Amino acid sequence: VASREVKPEPTLVKAGSLEVGNGKCGVIAGPCSVESEDQIVETAKAVKAAGATALRGGAFKPRTSPYSFQGLKEEGLKMLATAREETGLAVVTEVVASEDVQLVAKYADVLQIGARNMQNYRLLEEVGRVDRAVLLKRGPSATIDELLLAAEYILNEGNSRVMLCERGIRTFESHTRFTLPLATVTYLHQKTHLPVVIDPSHGTGHAALVPDMCVAAVAIGADGIIVEVHPEPDEAMSDGYQSLDLPTFAETMKRCRAVANAV
């Protein structure tokens, strides 16, 4: 059902202020984690002014170490809803467990399935049964065909608002946190009607590499980008080293617009 042979025209996914696919390039920006109301509202206002069309922020964080910050949970979801009220930006946030889907759906416009959960099939079925768009991230060790099959779990439950996300894969290269294959966009556009979003933050793991990868993603026709942005990256509770500060994000957006309008 994700195949272009079944549906040749590209799918446009809409969720509040966010439009992704069929010529629309969505920009999802915000911190890795929601840390406080001030932090999320300040970031939401700044990324909106810079041109973002949706706000990201994790309230349930799937951390590699159980000793790392795990997120503010429902308190964080409420802060995201406040930021949406203040800015009008759609909220994109991760759900890590089937039993949390209803709760997260109460506050979110887009349910993010994280890389670690791409093959959590019960969770995929659960988000397939709610009326919320889904951003499905590629697992770092999953093939593109496995990503497409994961998407089918969601589509088959009746939810047609699925966006695919390339967020980098595990390779032998250790200079970057993951390796970001931008060719995934072109390949997926040939195979599927679903929109493709690039995550240059997790894809590189270094803030210094993120702006160019945002511009490159737009240049090759990605349907969206999801970018980690923090008012004070050095103080961030997660992924500060790959987060853009507010001025750098605004500058990056200008470069993206120049590329998008160049044709």
| Residues at the site binding Mn ion, with contacts judged by CB under 5 A | 32, 239
Query: Is 58 an interacting residue with respect to ligand PEP (CB under 6 A)?
Result: yes
Give the number of other CB atoms < 10 A from CB of residue 6.
9
Residue 23: CB minimum distance to ligand PEP, A: 25
Count how many Cα atoms sit within 13 Å of the Cα of residue 151 in the half-sphere of its side chain. 29
User: Residue from 35, 87, 90, 137 that binds ligand PEP (CB under 6 A)?
Assistant: 137
Output the residue with the shortest Cβ distance to ligand PEP: 114
Say how far apart CA 236 and CA 249 lie, in whole Å.
16
Nearer to ligand PEP, 47 or 115 (CB): 115
CA angle, residues 222, 152, 194, in degrees to nearest 5: 20
Residue 235: CB minimum distance to ligand PEP, A: 17
Residue 261: CB minimum distance to ligand PEP, A: 28
Query: Is 32 an interacting residue with respect to ligand PEP (CB under 6 A)?
Result: yes
Query: Is 114 an interacting residue with respect to ligand PEP (CB under 6 A)?
Result: yes
Query: Residue 84, Cα to own-chain centre: how many angstroms?
Result: 17
Asked whether the beta carbons of 201 and 228 are under 8 A apart, the reply is yes
User: Residue from 84, 161, 177, 202 that binds ligand PEP (CB under 6 A)?
Assistant: 202
* Stretch near ligand PEP under the rule CB under 6 A, chosen from 40-48, 69-77, 109-117, 217-225: 109-117
Asked whether the beta carbons of 57 and 80 are under 8 A apart, the reply is yes
* Stretch near ligand PEP under the rule CB under 6 A, chosen from 40-48, 73-81, 111-119, 246-254: 111-119
Q: Are strands 26-30 and 196-198 parallel, antiparallel or unpaired?
A: unpaired
Say how far apart CA 100 and CA 106 lie, in whole Å.
10
Residue 202: CB minimum distance to Mn ion, A: 6
Nearer to Mn ion, 64 or 261 (CB): 64
- Give CA separation, 72 vs 53, 77, 230, in Å: 24, 8, 17
Residues of the shown chain interacting with ligand PEP in the complex, contacts defined by CB under 6 A: 32, 58, 62, 114-116, 137, 167, 202
